[in-house]
Structure 1
Amino acid sequence: MRTGELIPLTPEQADREAKRRDRIDQMFGELHKANSPTLAAYGETLPPVADRGPIFAIGEIVEIKGGRFRIQRFNGNKLVLKSLPRL
């Protein structure tokens, strides 16, 4: 056997592996069912996508009221801007 080759599973090992994967799938299904009310409630609290407003990134250059600014950081709910010279 060379490096990188897999040792084939015996029929018993393959059966155990299939059962293990089925159990994992079942557990994920149960987890999703348990979280679905939370996810539904969370989705109801988010405003519609059209009402969420713009999304900014740090370093992005924006034009506001004729001035150019670079977004330096977010401070809570506020943007910290650095003014840039006009072109």
Structure 2
Amino acid sequence: MLDNPYTHKEARDDLRKALAAVLEETIPPLSDEMNLFREFRLDSMSMLETLMELEDMLGFNVDPEELDIKDFETVAGYSGFLVAIKAAV
């Protein structure tokens, strides 16, 4: 087990950085209830690019075929996904 587990807040901050890199714009602070598709006009391609950015930042790899889009609709869902992935690494 990790001495300092990856937190939901860290995941939310990393998601914000990845969104900024992919969308090439300043991203406001994220709240858990934000719908990423509506709030940032994301589509499946930009969502995949965001995931790839996070893979590079955080050092993990996932198979896109195994992903559930519902994990990526909200900030809370995406952050929870990242926390789970980091715990498994």
| TM-score, reference length from structure 2 | 0.21
Rg larger in 1 or in 2? 1
Point out which structure has higher relative CO (alpha carbons under 8 A, 6+ apart).
2
Name the structure with the higher strand share.
1
